Structure 1
């Protein structure tokens, strides 16, 4: 740890108060030429300022280690979430101090005004919290924590440097995953926009025989158990378990488009992570496939406790590629890896009906063997343009083009439905909620 090392003057800074006082002395010397009665007042003022400066120097430097500071940061940051970091500071001076703190945050945030002002009494400790919201996965390098300390005189500032550069990885949104996980465990998913789906019919998986209570379906009465016990008994069923849920993520150039600082790929990754975790909570098996012009990662479906972390570590490294998706290779991989009927959630993006037509033959083949759900994105910027009134001929042209692209998105949904392929057309910010809603709906209807 580096604490104010080096020659003392390298960490010595003059304050605005000192420059103001020096300016006042200069003015007094100038006035003395015109008003001789001022006499030695300018000189006395100057010497008093020098004495005060020396006192300030003595107060700040007589203690070798006047303060202590340290950055408090998590082991990893969550992408597109508000991550809380903190700076712990402690005053070891025997007098009150004023401190200005700079935390050298990574260049990815492009912030040069992260400055904290605080005041500390002797032996007082403080934790100053602040929020960082990364929008890209990868490694983020932090620098030093620099603290500029001023005594009550505030003529001179002494700089302390703490810590050394540290690197924090930014992972897919595990904070969002935990939030949905807690809501699912406490059965409060509706607070996040998750709909409660009415179960149609009965699941095929028997759970137990229990006493009849008002509201139970009379069609589930177990007459043999009722005869033995002498009271009404009913069969209880639960959602089918161990169903396979695969998230297939398109990494091609179609997913490079940005939205609110995040690429479509990152939105798909965050939604896949949450969906996989919810599927594991529902005691299904979660798997993952990433694809572009070649197959990326393949994680066979499983429900081991380590499956979520395994998927998280793989998604952390995924990046957008610049070629189109090789759908033939994806189809062969799905046939070789997924051996039983599964829910395959394909995260991709289509901007025109022609882009769908190129992939449709392969989607139809996958849909023959699995329940295929295609998830793609609504272009919110084009939607805003299409809803904006046109003021001139150029505005009419732009509005017409925007409406055409928006209409193409609706045609894509209809074309997929015509081929018995389910789809979700979602805005990026609502992707996770819409995907989980559809998954729960599919389970409730026993479509897998």
Structure 2
């Protein structure tokens, strides 16, 4: 999106103006003791005034001094690096010095952004800078201010590119392209930390093809081989399709915890967007449920062309709440609205075993009819505390408490696994990769 306007605002004075003015005053002061300096002071004053008027005419008499253009996308990807470009063209007939101050959105709290440089006549300078938003919503860019000085450097003119530009910060969509290419090439596991081993065949037969090195010899089709006169033929299978994958996002107070500027909810939303896209590429149907003290949004699983747009638009407006999430309402909603066996990927967080035990009965009820994958977060700051050496009693006490909480996280994993519920305990920055890997593993095992 491009925005283009030019305005002329009042003048300012550069440092050279003040130093020169102080020098003239100093000559007048010294002339009281040395009268011979008085004529020099008068000549200096008139010369100074002449230079200021000349500088003023150089900088202000040309109305169209600069072309200023901000080039920025109409949407940003949350948690990712987004590029902004400023294009400035010098329309003066002489070399100028510039200082650029771009009024970036207040959400970034970056109040010292400025770039200085030199522009020759008719030269265009492209200034690029990066922004990393950490919360979704509408971000407003305001004016672009360029302070211009001529070679004399006495007078400064501010030229303003005035107006507002609104940019929507959406859930992280920049990694989508990377995952799409890997999914289409069946190399999606390479985005993670390990390869996914295919376990057995899926139930859907695709075709009979000639045997090549690496094919499973257990898939040999002897009848087709005999018809081909001894050329080995194998049955080719494909993953089962049209399975339902629902991402269920907890919006309660437990998801308000921050990590590297972003809340756990934002990490869950980013992972949901990627996982939904991968599921659609794999010909599964992707759906979405959000809940807190009440059910928020429900998007039925589908694989229509507009499904990703619907998911993205739904995720864009999700916000955390400080109330306790109601898993009983979630269970009732899933029981009535999702009749077909599905993969339920539940993004939530449990900090203690007692917190899990309050919600475990409802998760077990959901697992009776669906395959449930509970995804919750490792407290990386506690992990750092446990790795630090204890140098005094206070540090030892803190480290012991941290180890207790870390141990409880492992107990939560074991408790869920004992009831046949799949679990991912992950650091927030690894959430997307681990979730996609687990989905591919479950699909390869035909668990859905």
TM-score (norm 2): 0.95
Deviations 1:3-38 (A, max 9, x none): 225xxxx52010111111112222233333334443
Q: Cα distance, 1:184 vs. partner? A: 3.1
Greater than 6 Å deviation, 4+ residue runs: none
**Does the 8 Å contact 2:341/2:369 carry over to 1?**
yes
Unpaired runs of 5+ residues, structure 1, are none
SS of equivalent residue, structure 2 residue 288: strand
Cα separation, partners in 2 of 1:123 and 1:188, compared to 1, 3 Å = farther
Aligned residue in 1 for 2:12: 13
Aligned residue in 2 for 1:201: 200
Aligned residue in 2 for 1:142: 141
Cα separation, partners in 2 of 1:134 and 1:346, compared to 1, 3 Å = same
Q: Cα distance, 1:272 vs. partner? A: 0.7
CA distance in 2, matches of 1:200, 1:268: 28
Aligned residue runs from structure 1 range 35-74, under 5 A: 35-74=34-73
Aligned residue in 1 for 2:397: 397
CA distance in 2, matches of 1:262, 1:405: 22
Q: Cα distance, 1:370 vs. partner? A: 1.0
SS of equivalent residue, structure 1 residue 175: coil
**Does the 8 Å contact 2:183/2:282 carry over to 1?**
no
**Does the 8 Å contact 1:244/1:286 carry over to 2?**
yes
Deviations 1:176-224 (A, max 9, x none): 2233223433555455335321111111111111111223222211122
CA distance in 1, matches of 2:213, 2:191: 30
Aligned residue in 2 for 1:338: 338
Aligned residue runs from structure 1 range 38-437, under 5 A: 38-186=37-185, 189=188, 192-230=191-229, 231-437=231-437
Which has the higher mean CA deviation after the structures are superposed, 193-202 or 299-308? 193-202
**2:7 equivalent to 1:4:** yes
TM-score (norm 1): 0.95
**Does the 8 Å contact 2:189/2:196 carry over to 1?**
no
Deviations 1:277-307 (A, max 9, x none): 1111111111110011110111111111211
CA distance in 2, matches of 1:314, 1:194: 30
Which has the higher mean CA deviation after the structures are superposed, 187-196 or 294-303? 187-196
CA distance in 2, matches of 1:79, 1:32: 65
RMSD of Structure 2 on Structure 1 (CA): 1.6
Length, aligned pairs only: 444
Cα separation, partners in 2 of 1:42 and 1:402, compared to 1, 3 Å = same
CA distance in 1, matches of 2:147, 2:275: 47
Deviations 1:128-158 (A, max 9, x none): 1111111111111111111111111111111
SS of equivalent residue, structure 2 residue 64: coil
SS of equivalent residue, structure 1 residue 50: helix
Cα separation, partners in 2 of 1:304 and 1:114, compared to 1, 3 Å = same
Which has the higher mean CA deviation after the structures are superposed, 367-376 or 19-28? 19-28
CA distance in 2, matches of 1:180, 1:49: 65
CA distance in 1, matches of 2:379, 2:273: 23
Cα separation, partners in 2 of 1:194 and 1:238, compared to 1, 3 Å = farther
Cα separation, partners in 2 of 1:183 and 1:41, compared to 1, 3 Å = farther
Cα separation, partners in 2 of 1:209 and 1:191, compared to 1, 3 Å = closer
CA distance in 2, matches of 1:44, 1:179: 70
CA distance in 2, matches of 1:26, 1:287: 76
Q: Cα distance, 1:81 vs. partner? A: 0.7
**Does the 8 Å contact 1:4/1:11 carry over to 2?**
no
CA distance in 2, matches of 1:189, 1:11: 58
**Does the 8 Å contact 2:5/2:68 carry over to 1?**
no
